[in-house]
Amino acid sequence: MQTARTKWLAYTVLVGLLPIFSRFLVWLVTKEGSIEPFSPQDFIAFGLVLHISNINEIEHLVGADRSWKTTQNGISAFFIAVHGVLFCLTLIGGDAIDQRAIMYCVGSIALTSLAISYSLFNRIARNHLIHSEHLP
């Protein structure tokens, strides 16, 4: 199960965090005030990567309860839609959107997405381990 968690962390979480890390690195080496260290769009990208990965993992899962798979895919689809709406809000920009509020919102949703993805992948890894123990 540790290998599955390591793969999830490396292939999903770290790849999803690349835009956030990249912007922060660029912020570190640019002149003060040139760019912001964090952007809502980067957190939205992180959440999208997590939920798209969830759907991909679930679709390739053999032997899982169909109802559970449908529910999990529905949750991920809902969060993808929420991320899409938040992305549209960030495009409006200007004085119409409270930048601090949108940052808190996307940050909270990104953390929620991480928790959902972790619990989903943990269940998949645990079930895979249980099923592989019964193989000859």
Between CA 136 and CA 34 the distance in angstroms is 60
What pTM was computed for the model? 0.88
Helix or strand run (H / E) with residue 35: none
pLDDT for the residue 62? 81
Instruction: Determine contact, residues 35/26, Cβ cutoff 8 Å.
Output: yes
Instruction: Determine contact, residues 83/44, Cβ cutoff 8 Å.
Output: yes
- Per-residue confidence in pLDDT tens, the chain, 136 aa: 567 778 889 999 999 999 999 999 999 999 999 999 999 999 999 999 999 999 999 988 888 889 999 999 999 999 999 999 999 999 987 788 898 999 999 999 999 999 999 999 988 888 765 554 444 4
pLDDT for the residue 2? 66
Radius of gyration for the alpha carbons in the chain, expressed in angstroms and rounded: 18
pLDDT for the residue 65? 87
Nearest partner of 106 among 38, 56, 52, judged by Cα: 38
- Say which residue the tokens 């409270």 belong to: 98
Instruction: Determine contact, residues 65/73, Cβ cutoff 8 Å.
Output: no
